[in-house]
Structure 1
């Protein structure tokens, strides 16, 4: 049920995705987004490799020579590089900065960062898969069919419904058809070798914007976050092991290999500082004031559900423990 909630949530995220900031984004937003994303991925990968090496050395002293996973740092890097667009938009709206220059630049950069995160996550999932090019090729074909075949078909169907002025029950039938298509798209992308959330996200992104999508958001938008998503967050809470964070004082070896409080703190600081500093430097290079550059760097550290999705995806395929 938690995974089902995630599938429908990603469909809603795709519905709310607006490509206009990406199309209208100038060189400033593009350079700032890519700079922060690249250095965050690099530092996140290096941090994970360093921690895994520490654990491997400690386990070697204990006689357990299990080698650390090679692909886990890739998920770490992508997770630390994300900027959650919906949460950032809410923060800017609460601070009344949504239509300011810094707010608009942050939104454009966050959309670009989110797209880069999704693309890189898809590539990482395909690389880990035993049939790498097969997974990438089939997923690319599915996305191409959605853009060039499914999208025009959906536009034609919605247009016909409007012309005939169908009753509410027929609109409900169309909504049920779309919701069934969400599950089908998830099954297809999962069979292609990528994650099941890719299909619903793509389907939501290609849905023709207008009255029908607004009705979809109204019908489904309250049920999914309020009823289904708490189940997904419950799963995440159940996966948190505070003994690993606090360390086992009775066992010195486990205390060395566990993610102690000190390591959690300095990893968080380094991850936060990396994106802040890289975005700050990119803003200065683009002739922004130091104050605006620093504010932009802090805003680009906004994390959200996408980070949890990336980490859980790595855990599900057993490259993150």
Structure 2
């Protein structure tokens, strides 16, 4: 029509910019609300059930998604499943986006709990256990990824990218899950408890770094120049965060504290400031083709290291994240698990191999590192049992790999099931090794000064999902 402005021209963009944003359709809003309600209700019920059975809550939360996803609900009532969780990406992304915000904030809040001084106090022993618990499963995971038949669990990526991803998935531990297990067993303040947390913390920090490298390689390729660029980008981000992010976070936290003193509700300004910094850092690393999770973790560590940071002031955010957003993320993650993939003998066999590599690698690595530190045999085995729990971190890694196309649906299912299996086996194995080695000595309890603030008395401030 006369007077129409071509959409691609500057004038067309200006005209579009002045158009009000369209509202979400009523039906889409209804489906979104019902989907979130069903996932949260299931996560609450099954999460509590898992805890009563002595399992981490994340097992029940993931089971919620598995039950209402393609594995069970879609098989029993395909039409109802199609209506509640339609295949339309735009509809599903509404739920997924909320979950992604939750996991970004969850990882950021976890970063604030990283107690570097406590790790340094453990010195050489923690370093050796961490090194063994990282290098051995990482190496075995990479070797397994290279030996698996091409395309069995991997997406359309270079074999080395998939192999490195699998190595990272095998190397990580789940600090929130580990902390909760140690609290339940009364071992948080024991030497084995503190060593497990210290070594696991280092492994997770390095794991996020390596995951960012995998993310960059998945988008740029594995040419020598691209690899170097990815590594430099990751290291550069860490340096900039320390040199620039630290002072900026200090100023922001102080200003937020002054606003609170001027009459704002307690902790509101500080909580909002921390959320803004974590999300901003996540956006920055995402823009650099690194992982948003990496930026959130680094931001959390920077925030937690500031003198003006008071963990009590972010309690409202932590409560919402751990009580609502994180369970929604894990339930959503369970939706992508397709147990029907295990009907294929090749996938089932590959899953068994990956699980064996995960357990063997972490146990062997932690054991060798602990023995090199002159720890006893059973104490070394207890460290391996504790660090073997993958839980939260493994699920996040799996979701990242699926989104990047590094793994396919079968690969995602296998990695998530490894996270569940290792989290289930950690408590009884740790309990058994402790009983055999008589490690739960009541006199082997350091003072609370050596325990991260978030893990005193009641365990981690961020409860294990």
**TM-score using structure 2 length:** 0.59
> Take 1:68 and 1:191, find their aligned partners in 2: how far apart are those partners?
22
Let me know the Cα RMSD of the aligned residues: 2.7
Asked whether the 8 Å contact 1:126–1:194 carries over to 2, the reply is yes
> Take 1:173 and 1:163, find their aligned partners in 2: how far apart are those partners?
9
> Take 1:224 and 1:50, find their aligned partners in 2: how far apart are those partners?
39
For 1:168, what is the secondary structure of its paired residue? coil
Shift of 1:241: 1.3
Unaligned stretches of 5+ residues in structure 1: 57-65, 248-254
Tell me how many residue pairs correspond in the alignment.
301
Asked whether the 8 Å contact 1:21–1:111 carries over to 2, the reply is no
- Higher radius of gyration, 1 or 2: 2
Task: Provide the residue aligned with 1:301 in structure 2.
Answer: 388
Asked whether the 8 Å contact 2:157–2:405 carries over to 1, the reply is no
Change (3 A) 1:285 1:136: closer
Map 1:160-199; keep pairs closer than 5 Å: 165-169=261-265, 172-199=268-295
For 2:149, what is the secondary structure of its paired residue? helix
Change (3 A) 1:225 1:161: closer
1:132-160 Cα deviation digits (max 9, x unpaired): 55554455444333322332233244445
1:149-190 Cα deviation digits (max 9, x unpaired): 332233244445656832224853443343233322221111
Matched, 1:97 2:191: no
One of 301, 305, 317 as aligned partner of 1:220? 317
For 1:52, what is the secondary structure of its paired residue? coil
Matched, 1:87 2:180: no
User: In terms of mean alpha carbon deviation, does 6-15 or 200-209 score higher?
Assistant: 200-209
**TM-score using structure 1 length:** 0.83
Change (3 A) 1:219 1:72: same
Shift of 1:20: 1.8
One of 234, 241, 250 as aligned partner of 1:155? 250
Asked whether the 8 Å contact 2:103–2:326 carries over to 1, the reply is yes
Map 1:1-321; keep pairs closer than 5 Å: 1-53=98-150, 55=152, 69-130=159-220, 132-159=227-254, 165-169=261-265, 172-207=268-303, 208=306, 212-216=310-314, 218-247=315-344, 255=345, 257=346, 259-260=347-348, 262-321=349-408
Shift of 1:287: 2.1
**Higher RCO (C-alpha under 8 Å, 6+ residues apart):** 1
> Take 1:114 and 1:18, find their aligned partners in 2: how far apart are those partners?
13
Change (3 A) 1:167 1:111: same
User: In terms of mean alpha carbon deviation, does 76-85 or 19-28 score higher?
Assistant: 19-28
1:112-147 Cα deviation digits (max 9, x unpaired): 211221222222223333255555445544433332
User: In terms of mean alpha carbon deviation, does 265-274 or 167-176 score higher?
Assistant: 167-176
Asked whether the 8 Å contact 2:242–2:302 carries over to 1, the reply is yes
> Take 2:271 and 2:313, find their aligned partners in 1: how far apart are those partners?
9
